[in-house]
Structure 1
Amino acid sequence: MAKIKHNNFLDSVDDVMVRAKEEGVLHLYASGSKLSGRYLEIKGNKHYHFGTTGYLGLEQDRRLKEAAIQAIRDCGTQFPLSKSYISHPLYEELEQNMAVIYNTPVIITKNSTLGHLAVLPTAVRDEDAVILDHQVHWSVHQATEILKTRSIPVEMIRHNNLDMLEDKVMQLGRTAKKVWYLADGVYSMYGDFAPIEDLMNLARKYPQLHLYFDDVHGMSWKGKHGSGYVMSVLKEVPKQVLLIGTLSKTFGASGATVITSDKKLYAQIKNFGGPLTFSAQLEPASVAAAIASSRIHLSDEIYERQQDLQNRITHFNTLLSQTDLPVIDHNESPVHFIGTGTPATGYELVKLMMKDGFYTNLGIFPAVPVKNTGVRITISTHNELEDISGLVDALSINYKLALEHTHTSLQRVRRAFKLPEAKASNNRDPSKYFGRFQVSLESTITNIDKDLWNTHMGGKSIYDWEGLQVLEQSFTGHTAIENNWDFRYLIISDNTKPVLITFLTSSIWKDDLFSKNEVSAYLELERKTNPYYFTSKVLSVGSLITEGDHLYIDFDSKNWQEVLDLFFRILEDLEREFQAEMIVLRDFRSDSFLHKTFNLQGYVRIDMPESAQYKNFEWENEAEYISNLSKKSRVHFRKDIAPYREKVRIEICSSLNEADLERYYQLYKNVKQANLGLNTFMYPIQLFQNMNTNSGYEFIVLCNNEIDKDRLILGVMFCYKSAKTYVPNLVGLDYEYVNQYQTYRQLLYQTILRAKKLGLSRIDFGMTAGFEKRKLGAEIIENVSYIQVKDNYKLESLGILQGSNKKLL
């Protein structure tokens, strides 16, 4: 079978970013000629600035500014030469001062991103392994891409999950000399901390474990001499720890620091640390500003500034505690995150706050799961106490307005973040807004009117009323949980006229359903001992075995958008009912005008494997059929199909005996085991038994036609007749003969002949093998689906596997 087309992660990110830009909350420009720290001017309007990462306000300190200006006068705007040759005159004092701050020699890098690129490929050896915290900063993730090219194992654990970390250390430690755990000291979105003491205890228990901390958000506002949050806990840098600090953000200048007490490693990084060797050094102005800041850090003034900031953070936290705003992590860092759930609500809250004169950051995918969008607020010493009080007052008012404007509720937001329900809320229950619609939600198709269903949903794939009966009967009552599906049939009507109709299933999916073949093969090895490794409970429109237009919406109804909003509420209720980890909306054209709506509701677009349909039945014989093909396809037919016609015989069976059914099921299993391009669980034999007793199904059986040979069953196509549509739903092949008889291609062609004979107008050929179907005249359809996950952990873990150059098998 042909390989499927894989989704480009960057396209998904771009979708989200484009929408945020259109909403006017990202990629903005500050206006005006001056910056003060307290205020930020945007489009000529002044806003209180609650988005800075300069928590101590040092970037506006007169001493840093004057030092930078003087350095430009004395040394120029830059010193264009690699530090490997010579550093400009200001570097030495900065390195000496930073060594005092950390009580160990330091290495200065251009910025923290280049620092990671310099340090990790040097520190992590080919015989080592790496574990990423799920929420470690993007720049750390990116640096590990270099490690993958060297076949170094790179894996991920859930955020701050020490049990999972210990399991990974034991597993990787069997073959790795060192196991590096990469984490932030203070995490940039939620402002929560790494459990430093527990991690050190784990490192003492497992000497192979080495810790790598990015502490750029913990710098200056915490620790002796402002050495950062990590140092405030460690006091000294153990040999098992590598620390990245910063000279920008709170430090007020530019650059980053690398701190290690391992003298050999220190020398290796400084001698040849990638960007350290080949990138330009820090400009004199940046170094001079950093020197001025380091002098402040080495004085008692730093502790006054730290306390000043802490007083403002305490004031903010006290005020927040008096509201019902959903603060995601209650902590004493300068970073706070207020959840909004959907991007739509996040956009609206940011815009309302800007309208009232407060600038805050939007936290959105991929920094957080798309359904965990929120507003990131940072507190700095630029913010006066009255500014902070005004911020909380504005948040309390605008948060409720944002919920109302986007037809959602505080309850939905708190559920999205797994927070306890609010004690009290003045927010209007939006479900009353939809009270005039009639909602029918059933668990079996037999409770749905057959004519109503088939009028709107019939003739598509195998999910007309009769076809769904077969699926219900086939996927229930099994011991294997993956073969037990829950069905829900939803009809939302306005004055008894259906506006929205769909069916949904809740079932276990393999997380690598659309991953690369080698990734699925690697995971299948793991599943031999742990069959549900990297699997998830998924709530899907449609099902794993169906494809096509699963969602009927009457766009002529003036209320279709409100009905669609109600549909999203019902999805959330079903998600909780089934404890699903992911919601999947299938299958839409890539140019669907619903794209924006899905994005705003927290769904990310992914590419589906290409699908195929055949519709051109305007021919009466084989010669006319061939003449309708492209020149290349005609050559293909004459070369790969026509010469084998006389070698095979076709049997159309409406029912099978028990022995044949068992044989054909084994042929299906052959294909399933060989084709990882669409990696599902093996369907149970009950499905095929129910096909056999249902008049809507028939079987195209391909046998050999050579007199001198015994009768061989070469392959079988399992087909469903749905109104005017023919659906070759599954295929079975004997791979011993597949090339000798061109079995698969013969079955595809015979499917076209059979549909023509039955007088049907369309064949839904299904997903994968689009190249083969196209050569027979099928139209290739590029569909997309929209997914919403509770967290990004599994998706990002699969991304690490897919991007790895290590030999998976």
Structure 2
Amino acid sequence: MFLSWIERHPRLINAIKDSVDRFGVQYAAARTRAKCDIFDELEEKLNTIFFNSHTVIFNSVGAAHLAVLPVLGSGELPGYSISKKGIKWIVDKTTHASIQILRGILEQFGSFERVSFSDQELINDALKKCRAEGKTPILISDSLGSMGGSNNVVELTKLVKEFEGYFYVDDAHGTSIIGKHGCGYTLHKLGEFSENLILLSSLSKAFGSHGGAASFNNSQTVSTIKKYALNYIFSGPPSLPGIAACVASANIHLSSEITELQAKLKENIQFFDSSVFNVEVKEKTSPIRTIHIGCETEAINTSANLQIQGFLATAAMYPTVPKSQSIVRVAISAAHSKEELKRFADSVNALSKALRGETVC
């Protein structure tokens, strides 16, 4: 996905084969009891990629949320002190469902308020209210949204620091696509790993393999997560072949090859944008584009029609987007050729003409 040639890279494929020969399909023991050396190897490489941070790896970004957020909310996470009056979760309304689903768990530690982070006044009001209550604010949002939008990670990091709070950012759709060593959208924008930042990164999208990572500014944080995060202690570890592929991908990230792939992705995005009309561009850096359809049935039919022509562009509808505002989601990759992008753009333009005006279910 996005830099998808990486997932077919010979280094990753050979790493998986070698890992199966070395370890078997899986080493089914909790990492608190015993673990293979490639876990430490990967975390060390990710520390370098993510601006000399301190990183823990999980089966997925969703698993990382479930591990990190309760420990953060408890006030026991080193480097992230919490007011004696507790915390307040301030969550962007468009934040990924893997966080929204945890609301019941998070409310065991503090109040949970959903705010549109596109409205600066609403965020300020929530932070001021939090200060008046004497609580520690924790802003939670995606960096790049799964439907193509973005948040101003620089301003959000600065703003919550003024209120002595923390910014917990899901950079899953920003990982690898931009920045030195593929550090991702958030760190590329910030230019440093801020002391009040907690960064979540995906190893299974543009990174090309399997899993998720949580990175912190404080070195003691990692040992606390590994001791007290329940799904690190008790759940099965990430797939060993997947971790081996992650190590191979990390080596690519730490080489000049990642820069070449990022440049190809950027070139493809710009080419597609110059070739289509009536396609929404919410964030130029993001490889995600959307075609507004409206009617859910029509969105499904449109996606199916494109598939018949040889293009996979999935329909997104409620509850991913508001009711009657369905879209067709386009994901551009570094692996696409100009010819493929041109054929797809021509199909999208023809589609846009056919759908001009509101579609009615």
- Relative to the length of structure 2, the TM-score reads 0.93
Equivalent of 2:285 in 332, 337, 344: 332
Q: Hey, what's the Cα distance between the residues in 2 that align with 1:358 and 1:165?
A: 39
1:137 partnered with 2:96:
yes
Identity of aligned residues (%): 26
1:156 partnered with 2:114:
yes
Equivalent of 2:59 in 110, 115, 118: 110
Stretches of structure 1 that go unaligned for 5 or more consecutive residues are 1-52, 404-409, 414-564, 566-600, 602-809
- Equivalent AA in structure 2 for residue 165 of structure 1: I
Contact 1:112-1:256 within 8 A present in 2 as well: yes
**Residues 290-439 of structure 1: matches in 2 within 5 Å?**
290-320=246-276, 323=277, 325-327=278-280, 329=282, 331-401=284-354, 403=355, 410-412=356-358
Equivalent of 1:186 in 125, 144, 149: 144
**Residues 560-575 of structure 1: matches in 2 within 5 Å?**
none
Please state how far the C-alpha of 1:303 moved relative to its aligned partner: 0.6
1:206 partnered with 2:135:
no
**Residues 648-667 of structure 1: matches in 2 within 5 Å?**
none
For residues 771-804 of structure 1, the C-alpha deviation after alignment (integer angstroms, 9 at most, x for no partner) is: xxxxxxxxxxxxxxxxxxxxxxxxxxxxxxxxxx
Aligned residue number for residue 96 of structure 1: 44
Q: Hey, what's the Cα distance between the residues in 1 that align with 2:134 and 2:218?
A: 19
Aligned residue number for residue 8 of structure 2: 60
- The CA RMSD over aligned residues, in Å, is 1.6
1:276 partnered with 2:276:
no
Please state how far the C-alpha of 1:54 moved relative to its aligned partner: 4.4
User: Of the two structures, which has the highest relative contact order with CA contacts closer than 8 Å and spacing of 6 or more?
Assistant: 2
**Residues 725-736 of structure 1: matches in 2 within 5 Å?**
none
Stretches of structure 2 that go unaligned for 5 or more consecutive residues are 76-85
Q: Hey, what's the Cα distance between the residues in 1 that align with 2:49 and 2:99?
A: 24
- Equivalent AA in structure 1 for residue 55 of structure 2: V
**Matched position secondary structure for 1:251:** coil
**Residues 556-635 of structure 1: matches in 2 within 5 Å?**
601=361
For residues 82-115 of structure 1, the C-alpha deviation after alignment (integer angstroms, 9 at most, x for no partner) is: 1111211321211111111111221111111100
Deviation larger for 197-206 or 254-263: 197-206
Please state how far the C-alpha of 1:330 moved relative to its aligned partner: 5.2
Measured at CA, do residues 204 and 392 of structure 1 come closer, stay the same or move farther in structure 2, by a change above 3 Å?
same
**Matched position secondary structure for 2:65:** helix
Measured at CA, do residues 99 and 328 of structure 1 come closer, stay the same or move farther in structure 2, by a change above 3 Å?
closer
Question: Which has the larger share of strand?
Answer: 1
**Matched position secondary structure for 1:222:** coil
Equivalent of 2:191 in 232, 235, 239: 235
Contact 1:123-1:265 within 8 A present in 2 as well: no
Q: Hey, what's the Cα distance between the residues in 2 that align with 1:268 and 1:118?
A: 11
Structure showing greater radius of gyration is 1
Please state how far the C-alpha of 1:173 moved relative to its aligned partner: 2.4
Q: Hey, what's the Cα distance between the residues in 1 that align with 2:348 and 2:53?
A: 44
Q: Hey, what's the Cα distance between the residues in 1 that align with 2:191 and 2:11?
A: 28
Contact 1:362-1:375 within 8 A present in 2 as well: yes
For residues 501-525 of structure 1, the C-alpha deviation after alignment (integer angstroms, 9 at most, x for no partner) is: xxxxxxxxxxxxxxxxxxxxxxxxx
| Number of positions where the alignment pairs a residue of Structure 1 with one of Structure 2 | 350
- Relative to the length of structure 1, the TM-score reads 0.42
**Residues 440-589 of structure 1: matches in 2 within 5 Å?**
none
Measured at CA, do residues 178 and 262 of structure 1 come closer, stay the same or move farther in structure 2, by a change above 3 Å?
farther
1:122 partnered with 2:81:
no
Please state how far the C-alpha of 1:381 moved relative to its aligned partner: 1.6
Q: Hey, what's the Cα distance between the residues in 2 that align with 1:143 and 1:243?
A: 18
Please state how far the C-alpha of 1:348 moved relative to its aligned partner: 2.3
Q: Hey, what's the Cα distance between the residues in 2 that align with 1:277 and 1:336?
A: 39
Measured at CA, do residues 78 and 371 of structure 1 come closer, stay the same or move farther in structure 2, by a change above 3 Å?
same
